[in-house]
Protein backbone atom coordinates (compact mmCIF):
# COMPACT_ATOMS: atom_id res chain seq x y z
CA UNK A 1 0.00 0.00 0.00
CA UNK A 2 1.33 3.42 -0.98
CA UNK A 3 0.47 5.75 1.89
CA UNK A 4 1.83 7.91 4.67
CA UNK A 5 4.92 10.11 4.44
CA UNK A 6 6.34 9.85 0.92
CA UNK A 7 9.41 12.00 0.28
CA UNK A 8 9.70 13.92 -2.99
CA UNK A 9 13.45 13.38 -3.01
CA UNK A 10 15.97 16.05 -3.89
CA UNK A 11 18.81 14.97 -6.19
CA UNK A 12 22.23 15.59 -4.59
CA UNK A 13 24.72 17.23 -6.96
CA UNK A 14 28.48 17.67 -6.66
CA UNK A 15 30.54 19.38 -9.34
CA UNK A 16 27.40 19.29 -11.50
CA UNK A 17 27.28 15.48 -11.32
CA UNK A 18 24.92 13.16 -9.43
CA UNK A 19 26.46 12.59 -6.00
CA UNK A 20 25.80 8.86 -5.77
CA UNK A 21 27.30 8.40 -2.31
CA UNK A 22 25.30 11.26 -0.80
CA UNK A 23 22.13 10.00 -2.48
CA UNK A 24 22.48 6.46 -1.15
CA UNK A 25 23.24 7.68 2.37
CA UNK A 26 20.38 10.17 2.20
CA UNK A 27 17.87 7.50 1.17
CA UNK A 28 19.04 5.17 3.93
CA UNK A 29 18.58 8.00 6.47
CA UNK A 30 15.10 8.65 5.11
CA UNK A 31 14.02 5.04 5.52
CA UNK A 32 15.60 4.64 8.95
CA UNK A 33 13.77 7.83 10.01
CA UNK A 34 10.40 6.30 9.17
CA UNK A 35 9.67 7.56 5.65
CA UNK A 36 7.03 5.32 4.04
CA UNK A 37 7.95 5.78 0.38
CA UNK A 38 10.35 7.52 -1.98
CA UNK A 39 9.59 9.65 -5.04
CA UNK A 40 12.72 10.34 -7.13
CA UNK A 41 12.82 12.57 -10.22
CA UNK A 42 9.91 14.84 -9.48
CA UNK A 43 9.98 18.65 -9.49
CA UNK A 44 11.87 18.62 -6.17
CA UNK A 45 14.38 16.25 -7.74
CA UNK A 46 15.09 18.80 -10.49
CA UNK A 47 13.96 16.29 -13.11
CA UNK A 48 13.55 19.01 -15.73
CA UNK A 49 17.31 19.66 -15.65
CA UNK A 50 18.42 16.02 -15.64
CA UNK A 51 19.53 14.41 -18.87
CA UNK A 52 17.66 11.24 -19.89
CA UNK A 53 20.67 9.21 -18.78
CA UNK A 54 20.80 10.98 -15.42
CA UNK A 55 17.06 10.51 -14.97
CA UNK A 56 17.40 6.74 -15.35
CA UNK A 57 20.54 6.78 -13.19
CA UNK A 58 18.73 8.51 -10.33
CA UNK A 59 15.77 6.11 -10.45
CA UNK A 60 18.13 3.13 -10.47
CA UNK A 61 20.15 4.49 -7.55
CA UNK A 62 16.96 5.06 -5.56
CA UNK A 63 15.65 1.55 -6.19
CA UNK A 64 19.01 0.08 -5.25
CA UNK A 65 19.32 2.11 -2.05
CA UNK A 66 15.71 1.43 -1.01
CA UNK A 67 16.32 -2.31 -1.48
CA UNK A 68 12.58 -3.05 -1.32
CA UNK A 69 12.26 -1.58 2.18
CA UNK A 70 9.72 1.01 1.00
CA UNK A 71 7.94 1.63 -2.32
CA UNK A 72 9.68 3.71 -4.98
CA UNK A 73 7.37 5.85 -7.14
CA UNK A 74 9.49 7.20 -9.98
CA UNK A 75 8.69 10.54 -11.59
CA UNK A 76 8.44 10.07 -15.35
CA UNK A 77 6.30 13.07 -16.31
CA UNK A 78 6.59 14.79 -19.66
CA UNK A 79 4.39 16.82 -21.98
CA UNK A 80 5.61 14.48 -24.72
CA UNK A 81 3.57 11.28 -24.41
CA UNK A 82 6.13 9.15 -26.22
CA UNK A 83 8.92 10.44 -23.97
CA UNK A 84 6.83 9.68 -20.87
CA UNK A 85 6.16 6.15 -22.15
CA UNK A 86 9.88 5.56 -22.74
CA UNK A 87 10.79 6.80 -19.26
CA UNK A 88 7.99 4.74 -17.67
CA UNK A 89 9.49 1.67 -19.30
CA UNK A 90 12.94 2.57 -18.01
CA UNK A 91 11.51 3.06 -14.49
CA UNK A 92 9.89 -0.37 -14.64
CA UNK A 93 13.15 -1.90 -15.85
CA UNK A 94 14.96 -0.26 -12.90
CA UNK A 95 12.56 -1.96 -10.48
CA UNK A 96 10.34 0.97 -9.46
CA UNK A 97 7.08 -0.03 -7.81
CA UNK A 98 5.04 2.67 -9.57
CA UNK A 99 5.45 5.82 -11.63
CA UNK A 100 4.28 9.37 -11.01
CA UNK A 101 2.95 10.99 -14.20
CA UNK A 102 2.16 14.70 -14.26
CA UNK A 103 -0.59 16.27 -16.36
CA UNK A 104 0.90 17.43 -19.68
CA UNK A 105 2.22 20.96 -19.20
CA UNK A 106 2.58 23.82 -21.70
CA UNK A 107 0.73 22.04 -24.55
CA UNK A 108 -2.65 22.79 -22.87
CA UNK A 109 -4.42 19.64 -24.14
CA UNK A 110 -8.16 19.18 -23.74
CA UNK A 111 -9.63 16.58 -21.41
CA UNK A 112 -9.66 13.88 -24.10
CA UNK A 113 -5.97 14.52 -24.81
CA UNK A 114 -5.21 14.30 -21.08
CA UNK A 115 -7.12 11.02 -20.84
CA UNK A 116 -5.37 9.49 -23.82
CA UNK A 117 -1.95 10.66 -22.57
CA UNK A 118 -2.34 8.87 -19.23
CA UNK A 119 -4.03 5.85 -20.79
CA UNK A 120 -1.10 5.39 -23.19
CA UNK A 121 1.40 5.53 -20.32
CA UNK A 122 -0.58 3.07 -18.20
CA UNK A 123 -1.00 0.60 -21.05
CA UNK A 124 2.73 0.64 -21.78
CA UNK A 125 3.81 -0.75 -18.37
CA UNK A 126 2.77 -3.37 -15.83
CA UNK A 127 3.42 -1.36 -12.65
CA UNK A 128 1.11 1.17 -11.01
CA UNK A 129 0.58 4.75 -12.16
CA UNK A 130 -0.01 7.66 -9.79
CA UNK A 131 -1.49 10.67 -11.58
CA UNK A 132 -0.22 14.13 -10.65
CA UNK A 133 -2.62 17.04 -10.92
CA UNK A 134 -0.95 20.43 -10.44
CA UNK A 135 -2.70 23.13 -12.49
CA UNK A 136 -0.47 25.83 -11.02
CA UNK A 137 2.49 24.39 -12.93
CA UNK A 138 0.90 22.44 -15.78
CA UNK A 139 -1.84 25.01 -16.54
CA UNK A 140 -4.35 22.22 -17.33
CA UNK A 141 -6.60 20.61 -14.71
CA UNK A 142 -7.66 16.96 -14.70
CA UNK A 143 -11.43 17.34 -14.40
CA UNK A 144 -13.60 15.06 -12.28
CA UNK A 145 -15.12 13.04 -15.12
CA UNK A 146 -11.67 12.54 -16.66
CA UNK A 147 -10.43 11.30 -13.30
CA UNK A 148 -13.34 8.86 -13.16
CA UNK A 149 -12.46 7.45 -16.57
CA UNK A 150 -8.77 7.18 -15.68
CA UNK A 151 -9.52 5.38 -12.40
CA UNK A 152 -11.21 2.63 -14.41
CA UNK A 153 -7.84 1.73 -15.99
CA UNK A 154 -6.57 -1.16 -13.80
CA UNK A 155 -3.03 0.04 -13.10
CA UNK A 156 -3.90 3.70 -12.54
CA UNK A 157 -4.01 3.35 -8.79
CA UNK A 158 -4.09 6.84 -7.36
CA UNK A 159 -3.52 10.56 -7.47
CA UNK A 160 -1.16 13.19 -6.13
CA UNK A 161 -3.36 16.26 -5.84
CA UNK A 162 -1.66 19.65 -5.61
CA UNK A 163 -4.72 21.79 -6.30
CA UNK A 164 -5.22 22.59 -2.58
CA UNK A 165 -8.95 22.08 -3.23
CA UNK A 166 -9.89 19.85 -0.30
CA UNK A 167 -13.46 19.45 -1.54
CA UNK A 168 -12.06 17.23 -4.28
CA UNK A 169 -11.15 14.43 -1.88
CA UNK A 170 -14.81 13.50 -1.35
CA UNK A 171 -15.56 14.04 -5.04
CA UNK A 172 -12.81 11.62 -6.04
CA UNK A 173 -14.01 9.06 -3.53
CA UNK A 174 -17.48 9.21 -5.04
CA UNK A 175 -16.35 8.64 -8.63
CA UNK A 176 -13.05 6.73 -8.28
CA UNK A 177 -13.89 4.46 -5.36
CA UNK A 178 -12.45 3.95 -1.89
CA UNK A 179 -9.44 1.97 -3.16
CA UNK A 180 -8.18 4.84 -5.31
CA UNK A 181 -5.15 6.21 -3.42
CA UNK A 182 -5.40 9.93 -2.74
CA UNK A 183 -2.22 11.74 -1.75
CA UNK A 184 -1.82 15.40 -0.96
CA UNK A 185 0.79 17.19 -3.02
CA UNK A 186 1.15 20.04 -0.52
CA UNK A 187 2.46 19.64 3.04
CA UNK A 188 0.26 22.45 4.45
CA UNK A 189 -2.93 20.67 3.30
CA UNK A 190 -1.95 17.17 4.41
CA UNK A 191 -3.76 17.30 7.76
CA UNK A 192 -7.08 18.37 6.24
CA UNK A 193 -6.55 16.00 3.30
CA UNK A 194 -6.26 13.05 5.71
CA UNK A 195 -9.38 14.18 7.59
CA UNK A 196 -11.33 14.18 4.32
CA UNK A 197 -10.23 10.63 3.53
CA UNK A 198 -6.77 10.99 1.98
CA UNK A 199 -3.95 8.50 2.50
CA UNK A 200 -0.80 10.58 2.88
CA UNK A 201 1.39 13.17 1.21
CA UNK A 202 4.19 13.35 -1.33
CA UNK A 203 6.17 15.73 0.80
CA UNK A 204 8.99 18.23 0.33
CA UNK A 205 9.41 18.91 4.05
CA UNK A 206 10.11 15.24 4.76
CA UNK A 207 13.44 15.68 2.97
CA UNK A 208 14.50 17.79 5.94
CA UNK A 209 12.31 16.40 8.74
CA UNK A 210 11.67 12.74 7.86
CA UNK A 211 11.09 11.51 11.41
CA UNK A 212 8.72 14.35 12.29
CA UNK A 213 6.76 13.97 9.06
CA UNK A 214 6.55 10.19 9.50
CA UNK A 215 5.21 10.64 13.03
CA UNK A 216 2.70 13.20 11.79
CA UNK A 217 1.33 10.86 9.11
CA UNK A 218 1.22 7.92 11.53
CA UNK A 219 -0.96 10.00 13.84
CA UNK A 220 -3.23 11.00 10.95
CA UNK A 221 -3.57 7.40 9.78
CA UNK A 222 -4.62 6.42 13.30
CA UNK A 223 -7.22 9.20 13.39
CA UNK A 224 -5.39 11.01 16.19
CA UNK A 225 -5.98 14.42 14.69
CA UNK A 226 -5.63 16.48 17.88
CA UNK A 227 -2.07 15.21 18.35
CA UNK A 228 -1.40 15.48 14.63
CA UNK A 229 -2.51 19.11 14.66
CA UNK A 230 0.01 19.97 17.37
CA UNK A 231 2.80 18.45 15.28
CA UNK A 232 1.47 20.16 12.15
CA UNK A 233 1.74 23.50 13.94
CA UNK A 234 5.41 22.81 14.78
CA UNK A 235 6.13 21.92 11.16
CA UNK A 236 3.99 24.59 9.53
CA UNK A 237 6.73 27.19 9.05
CA UNK A 238 9.01 24.57 7.54
CA UNK A 239 6.22 23.52 5.14
CA UNK A 240 5.96 27.09 3.93
CA UNK A 241 9.46 28.52 4.26
CA UNK A 242 10.99 25.81 2.07
CA UNK A 243 9.18 27.63 -0.74
CA UNK A 244 10.24 31.20 0.02
CA UNK A 245 12.56 30.83 -2.97
CA UNK A 246 12.31 28.47 -5.93
CA UNK A 247 12.34 24.84 -4.82
CA UNK A 248 14.48 22.91 -4.10
CA UNK A 249 17.08 25.58 -3.26
CA UNK A 250 15.86 26.16 0.33
CA UNK A 251 15.52 22.42 0.92
CA UNK A 252 19.04 21.73 -0.30
CA UNK A 253 20.33 24.58 1.87
CA UNK A 254 18.67 22.96 4.90
CA UNK A 255 20.13 19.54 4.02
CA UNK A 256 23.57 21.07 3.65
CA UNK A 257 23.23 22.43 7.19
CA UNK A 258 22.42 18.87 8.31
CA UNK A 259 25.51 17.54 6.53
CA UNK A 260 23.51 15.39 4.12
CA UNK A 261 24.70 16.89 0.83
CA UNK A 262 25.99 19.99 -0.87
CA UNK A 263 23.49 22.74 -1.58
CA UNK A 264 24.21 22.67 -5.32
CA UNK A 265 21.30 23.25 -7.70
CA UNK A 266 21.06 23.68 -11.45
CA UNK A 267 19.88 26.71 -13.37
CA UNK A 268 17.30 28.09 -13.77
CA UNK A 269 17.02 27.47 -10.01
CA UNK A 270 19.47 29.67 -8.15
CA UNK A 271 20.82 29.82 -4.60
CA UNK A 272 18.29 31.07 -2.10
CA UNK A 273 18.52 34.55 -0.59
CA UNK A 274 20.07 35.28 2.81
CA UNK A 275 16.63 36.20 4.18
CA UNK A 276 15.33 32.80 3.11
CA UNK A 277 18.28 31.04 4.73
CA UNK A 278 17.54 32.76 8.03
CA UNK A 279 13.85 31.85 7.81
CA UNK A 280 14.67 28.22 7.03
CA UNK A 281 16.98 27.95 10.04
CA UNK A 282 14.27 29.31 12.34
CA UNK A 283 11.69 26.97 10.82
CA UNK A 284 14.00 23.98 11.34
CA UNK A 285 14.53 24.91 14.98
CA UNK A 286 10.78 25.37 15.48
CA UNK A 287 10.25 21.88 14.05
CA UNK A 288 12.68 20.41 16.57
CA UNK A 289 15.47 19.73 14.08
CA UNK A 290 18.97 19.88 15.54
CA UNK A 291 21.41 21.77 13.34
Mean pLDDT by 10 residues, the chain (291 residues): 96 97 98 98 96 98 98 96 98 98 94 98 98 92 97 98 93 95 97 96 98 98 97 98 98 98 97 98 96 88
User: Residue 39 pairs with which residues in a beta bridge?
Assistant: 8
For residue 128, list its beta bridge partners: 98
Spatial CA neighbour of 42 closest among 243, 199, 248: 248
Kindly report the CATH number that applies to the domain delimited by 4-222.
3.20.20.70
How far apart are the C-alpha atoms of 5 and 28, rounded to whole Å? 15
Which residues form the catalytic set? 132, 160
pLDDT of residue 151: 98
Task: List the domain boundaries for the chain.
Answer: 4-222
What is the model's pLDDT at position 1?
A: 80
Amino acid sequence: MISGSLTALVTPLKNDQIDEKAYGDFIDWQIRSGTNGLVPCGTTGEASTLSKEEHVQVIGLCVQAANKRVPVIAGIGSNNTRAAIRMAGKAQDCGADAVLAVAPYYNKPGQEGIFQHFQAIAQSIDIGVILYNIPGRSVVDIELDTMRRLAEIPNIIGLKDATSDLARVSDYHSVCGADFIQLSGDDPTALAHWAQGGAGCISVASNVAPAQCAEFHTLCAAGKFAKARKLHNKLDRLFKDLFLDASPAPTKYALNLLGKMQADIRLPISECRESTKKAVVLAMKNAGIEI
